[in-house]
Structure 1
């Protein structure tokens, strides 16, 4: 019973510190954030901070590593990313994941173009996409496919950034469906411009 109480307290402390870090990173880079200002912001003793992290960089690393692991779990739910029937369910999970971690995702996508996590997510999807391609077609992807993937991943990142910056008014299901149409149907996207997302 005591362990459960301690674990709950640790989770609460880490959650408060993460909220504070997100707030500060909306205003400044991680290089300019000190343990003192973060601890003061969330009203937690510096000593308590050091029980969990070495410094703000270590804290951000731990958060990003955990998010990267969680994303990899989502990726591993799907046997192939190039099977059409997997596209929408995968996208819904991805956008739900972003919504659940909205604060940190705002920092990563809107404030930090060179984020470790963003690069990790891109790398994981890229590796999986080309591995799936090789397994299905028993050959490496052509240059045209490499160009398609570059276009696709850049477009998805821009779309996610726009969704975050404009208040996430669409649900994960709605924005996933919109993304699926863009990926699979290209110009057919314009057919549904005058129709609300559903």
Structure 2
């Protein structure tokens, strides 16, 4: 019983620090955020911060890794089906995820201090692209395959960043349709 209470306190403290970090990232550049800023915002003792993290970067890494794992799991669960509209559910799920995690994605993707998070998500999208290729039985020129994956993943990431930067002025349905308008000709070239 005592361990459960301690575990809940740890989870609560970490959650409060993550929330404080996101609030602060909305207000100032990440490089200016200190452990003191985080603990003041979270109304925690600085010793609590250092009990769990050596520095603010470790907290950011933990936050990024949680989102990457969640995003990866979400994409892994999307079934690839033969047919013309297999890609719509993939793009739609990505847009849904971003809308459901808008604040978190905004903080992590628009962090000018680091593009590590965007690179991690791009790698996940590339892996999904390779699964699609295998599921569809496609063969790409091995000399061009990495270019294809990079073009699609980085282009999609650029669209997402712009959408977040502008405050998501179009709905997720419109964004999904717009992304498909841009992506579908690429797939039409690639698919037999």
TM > 0.5: yes
Structure 1, gaps ≥5 residues long: 187-198
In the superposition, the TM-score normalised over structure 1's length comes to 0.75
Q: Count residues in correspondence.
A: 185
User: 2:109·2:117 contact (CA, 8 Å) conserved in 1?
Assistant: no
Where in structure 2 are the equivalents of 1:159-178 lying within 5 Å?
159-178=159-178
**1:8-47 alignment to 2 at 5 Å?**
9-26=9-26, 27-30=28-31, 32-47=32-47
Q: Say whether the 8 Å CA contact 2:35–2:46 is kept in structure 1.
A: yes
Q: CA deviation at 1:109?
A: 2.3
Kept in 1, the 8 Å contact 2:53–2:59? The answer is yes
Tell me the residue number matched to 1:132: 132
2:86 match: secondary structure: helix
Following superposition, the deviation at residue 142 of structure 1 comes to 4.8
**Aligned CA distance change for structure 1 residues 36 and 81 (closer, same or farther; 3 Å):** farther
Shift of the alpha carbon at 1:123? 1.1
Superposition CA RMSD, Å: 3.0
Over 3 Å counting, the alpha-carbon distance change for 1:111 and 1:131 in structure 2 is: same
TM-score by length of 2: 0.77
| Deviations 1:53-79 (CA, angstroms, capped at 9, x unpaired) | 332111111111111111111121124
Q: Displacement of 1:113 after TM fit? A: 7.2
**Equivalent-residue separation in structure 2 for 1:8 and 1:179 (angstroms):** 41
